[in-house]
Chain A
C-alpha cells in the first residue's frame, strides 16, 4: 500500500470544476505508466495503455473531483456565507474548510429560535478570521474543500475525499501493474462527477469505448441502524448490480464476478438505492456502452471522515487486473 500516494491524492485540492491541482498530481503519477496522455476540454485526464493487440477498448473511470463549497456572500462583519458543490453534504459545526487561495475557515451555525431541527445551508457561515467585509480574504465565487487528514487505524483508513480518490488510487495501481493485456485500456480520471457526471460523459464520448467500468466508492449497510444493504466494509470490492442511476450491464457484471473468482479475492454484490457513478453517464453516450462499476465500500460518504478498508483496495486492484487479462 502506497500510503504516501493515497494521502497526496485525498488531500489535494479539487472540488468539481476546479480539478487543476489534483490533475497535476495524477498526471505526474501516471505519465510514466501510460503510452499516451490526453486532457479533454472539461479537464478529464485520459491515460491510454495500449494493448498487445486483438482486444477491446476498455474505459476505466475514477473521478478526480471532490465535493466542496463556494463563497456566495461576505457579510458586513466578514463572515462568509456559502453554497455546496455536490449533493448530500451536511457540514457539521466546527468542521473546517480550505479555500482555493489557501485561507482556512471554520463552519458554524447561527443561533436559531428552534435548534431542534436540522439547520439549512442558509443558517451556516464560515469564520475566516476577518473582522469586516473589507478585510475578508475570501471573495464571492471562491471555491473551498473540506479538511480531513488521512489516518490509518489498523486495517481502516480514514480521510476526506476517499470518494473518489481511492478509486483514482486503484486506477493508478492497475496502470502500474498491468502487463500483457490485449486490450487498449483508457484510464479516465474524470471531472465534475459530483455535479452531474459531466466529465465522464464527455470523455466517454471522445474515447468511444467498447466497455466502460467506473471505480467509485459505495455505501455500506454495516452501521448502526443503517439502511439495509448487503455491502460491508472489508468484505471485498463490491460488484455493482444496480444503483440509483443505472443497472449494470449483465455481461460486465458477470465478467467482474468471474474475474473475482479467478483472482481468488472476496467480493460482494452491490445494490445501492440512492446515488450513482460515472458508469451511469458512460453507458448512455453515443449509441450506448455496456457498463458496470466496481465499488470500494466506504463509510460516512460525503463527510470529512470517509472510511475504507485497506484489503478492499488491494482486492479491487487484483480483481481489475485479472479482469483485464481474462476478459474477452
Chain B
C-alpha cells in the first residue's frame, strides 16, 4: 500500500531531525516546535523540566483527557574532559553502540563546531578489533592543545552526530529519528482538526536517560489515557541469522507495543488500537515484545494509574549517525494515532 507523500510531515521531520538536542539540552527542538503548533492549540506552556505542554480542547460534551507524548531529546555525548593533545573526552548521553563510533562526524556545541571521533590507524591497530568504550574515545575538533580545546568546548558541552536529513531511494534518512519522527507526528496531530477528546500534546525531555520528562508531564496532565509516539528499532539489516524476529519491519506500518521492558499495554487499550487500524484499513505490526523502554512506562504509574500504549514508526539504525524510515510508515502512524484517539470512548477504558 502506498499513499501520496505527506510533504508537510516529511518537512517537519527534516526540520527537527537536523536540529541538535541531547537529553537535558532540548532548547533548540522546543523552539522549533513552538511556532509549528502554537496557532493550532488553545494553550501552551513549558514546565519546570522543559517539557512543552500543549492543550487542544475537545469537541465532546464530556471529553476524555488524552495525553500524547513524543520526546524531543536524542542520544549524544557530553564533554567531560580535555587531553593534552587537544582531544575531548566524552561520556555518552543515552545508549549508543560503541562499535560504530570511531571515524564518525559530530557537531560540538551550539554552533555545530565540526569534530571527528578519533580512530587508531589500521597500520598500528595490531589486530585489535575490539570496540573501544566511550570513556576511551576522544573527539578531535582540531584544537592544538588542552587550552584551545577547553576554550572551544568547555566541560558539559553537548555533542551529536553530524548528519543532515536526506532521501535515499524511497526512504528518508537522518539522525535522531528516535524520536523526532514521533515529534513530527505529534506536530501534525496538533495541526489537524479538533478531536472529540481534550488533547494534551507533550513534547518531552530526557527520555533517553530514563523516561524522565514524561513522568512529570503525566503527573501534571492527569489524563485518562496516554499514547507515547516513538521511533523504534528494526533489526533486519544486516540480518544476524535466519528465522529470528526482526523486532519490526520497514514499510509494514506502525509498530504497536504489547509489552516492552518498561510496561505492559492494557489488553483493552491494545484491542482498541488494533480495531481502529482494521476499521480504517491501516496496516500495522506488533513489535517484538520485551524490547526497549518507552514513555508509556512513565505514564502508567502516574498518580492513580494511567492506561497507556506506545505506537512507533519503525526505523533502521536508530541511535546511530543515520537512521532510515519509510514515509508510508510515518504517514500510517499518524493516521493510526489519530483514528485510535478519535474513536476513544469512556467504554474503551472501562474495566470490571
Interface residues of chain A, those whose CB is within 8 Å of chain B, are 16-18, 20, 24, 39-44, 70-73, 75-76, 81, 83-85, 139-141, 143, 192, 195-196, 198-199, 201-203, 205-206
Q: Which of A20, A40, A81, A198 contacts B301 (CB 8 A)?
A: A198
In the bound complex, residues from chain B placing their C-beta under 8 Å from that of A143 are 259
Please tell me the size bucket of the interface on B.
20 to 34
Report the nearest B residue to A16, measured CB to CB.
B264
8 Å CB interface, B197-245 against A: 224, 243-245
Could you jot down 10 A-B contacts, CB within 8 Å?
A: A39-B351, A72-B288, A75-B243, A81-B245, A85-B259, A85-B264, A140-B286, A198-B301, A202-B302, A203-B304
- Whether A41 touches B304, Cβ cut-off 8 Å, given contacts A70-B258, A70-B259, A73-B244, is yes
A44, B288: Cα distance in complex, Å: 27
Q: Mark B256-295, 1 if CB is under 8 A from A, else 0.
A: 0011000111110000000000000000001011100000
Provide the bound-state CA to CA distance between A139 and B304, in Å: 32
List the B side residues contacting A205 at CB < 8 Å. 303-305
Residues in A whose Cβ lies below 8 Å from that of B305: 40-42, 44, 198-199, 202-203, 205-206
Contact A17 B351 (CB under 8 A): no
A202 and B303 CA atoms in complex are apart in Å by 6
- With a cutoff of 8 Å between Cβ atoms, the chain B residues found around residue A70 in the complex are 258-259, 289-290
Q: What is the CA–CA distance of A17 and B262 in the complex, to the nearest angstrom?
A: 12
Q: Report A-chain residues with C-beta under 8 Å of the C-beta of B264.
A: 16-18, 85, 192, 195
Complexed CA–CA distance, A139 and B274 (Å): 14
Verify if B196 is at the interface (C-beta below 8 Å from A): no
Given contacts A17-B264, A70-B259, A206 and B290 within 8 Å (CB-CB): no
Tell me which residues across on chain B come within 8 A of A85, comparing CB atoms: 259, 264
Residue of A nearest to B258 (CB): A141
Contacts of B301 in A (CB 8 A): 196, 198, 201-202
Chain A: minimal CB distance from B264 (Å): 3
CB contacts (< 8 Å) of B300 on chain A: these are: 42, 198, 202
Extra contacts, 4 of them, besides A141-B286, A141-B289 (Cβ < 8 A), are A42-B300, A70-B258, A202-B304, A206-B304
**A72 and B304: CB pair below 8 A?**
no
Q: Give A81 to B288 CA distance when docked, in angstroms.
A: 10
Closest to A192 in B: B264
Q: How far is the CA of A141 from the CA of B245 in the complex (A)?
A: 13
Find chain B residues with CB under 8 A from A201 CB: 301
Q: Would you list the 7 A-B pairs with minimal beta carbon distance, nearest first? A: A17-B264, A202-B305, A83-B290, A73-B245, A42-B305, A141-B258, A206-B304
Contacts of B243 in A (CB 8 A): 75-76
A11 CB → nearest B CB, Å: 20
A199 to B266, CA, bound (A): 12
Which residues in A have their C-beta under 8 angstroms from that of B306? 41
- Alpha-carbon distance between A17 and B297 when the two chains are bound, in angstroms: 12
Q: Is B352 an interface residue (CB 8 A)?
A: yes
Closest to A202 in B: B305
A260 to B303, CA, bound (A): 34
- B307 contacts partner chain A, Cβ-Cβ < 8 Å: yes
Of listed A42, A71, A196, residue having the most chain B CB within 10 A: A42
Interface hits, B302-325 → A, CB 8 Å = 302-307
A17 x B290 contact (CB < 8 A): no
Which one of A20, A43, A72, A195 lies within 8 Å of B263 (CB-CB)?
A195
Determine if B49 is an interface residue (Cβ-Cβ < 8 Å).
no
B349 at the A/B interface (Cβ < 8 Å)? yes
Complex interface: chain B residues within 8 A of A17 (CB): 259, 264-267
Select one of A20, A43, A72, A76 contacting B290, CB under 8 A: A72
Complex CA–CA separation, A311 to B16 (angstroms): 64
B263, chain A: closest CB distance, angstroms: 7
The smallest beta-carbon distance between A208 and chain B, in angstroms, is: 10
Alpha-carbon gap, A75 to B243, bound state (A):
6
- B268 to A, closest residue via Cβ: A20
**Cα A303 to Cα B143 with chains together (Å):** 59
Cα(A73)–Cα(B306), bound, Å: 28
Q: Name the distance in Å between A258's Cβ and chain B's nearest Cβ.
A: 33
- The closest CB in chain A to the CB of B305 belongs to A202
The residues of A that contact B352 with a CB separation of less than 8 Å are 20, 24, 39
Which residues of A are found within 8 Å of B258, using beta-carbon distances? 70, 140-141
The answer on a CB contact under 8 Å between B289 and A83 is yes
CB distance from A41 to the nearest CB of B (A): 4
Contact with A along B166-183 (1 / 0, CB 8 A): 000000000000000000
B286 to A20, Cβ gap below 8 A?
Answer: no
Docked Cα-Cα span, A76 to B290, in Å, equals: 21
B283–chain A nearest beta-carbon distance, Å: 16
CA distance A17 to B268 in the complex (A): 11
Q: How far is the CB of A187 from chain B (nearest CB, A)?
A: 17
In the complex formed, the residue of A with least CB distance to B300 is A198
Shortest Cβ gap from A136 to chain B (Å): 13
A74→B290 CA distance, assembly (Å): 15
B225 — nearest CB in chain A belongs to which residue?
A41
Which residues of A have CB within 8 Å of B244? Answer: 73, 81
Contact A41 B286 (CB under 8 A): no
A41 touches B259 (CB 8 A): no
The docked-state distance in angstroms from the alpha carbon of A81 to that of B289 is 11
Q: Please tell me which one of the listed residues A20, A75, A140, A202 contacts residue B289 in the complex, with CB atoms under 8 A apart.
A: A140
Contacts of A75 in B (CB 8 A): 243
Cα of A73 to Cα of B249 in the assembled complex, Å: 13
Tell whether, in the assembled complex, residue A20 and residue B267 are in contact, meaning their CB atoms are under 8 Å apart: yes
Complex-state Cα separation, A268 to B243, whole angstroms = 51
- Which residues 335-352 of B sit at the A interface, judged by CB distance below 8 A? 349, 351-352
- B290 with A42: CB separation less than 8 A: no
In angstroms, Cα B263 to Cα A16, docked, is 10
In the docked arrangement, what's the CA distance between A16 and B265, Å? 10
Q: Is the CB of A40 within 8 A of B288?
A: no
Complex CA–CA separation, A20 to B351 (angstroms): 9
Bound form: Cα–Cα A325–B208 in Å: 49
* A118 and B352 alpha carbons, distance in the complex (Å): 42
Q: CA–CA, A192 to B265, complex, Å?
A: 11
Is the CB–CB distance between B351 and A41 below 8 Å? yes
Question: Among B264, B265, B306, B352, which residue has the most Cβ atoms of chain A within 10 A?
Answer: B264
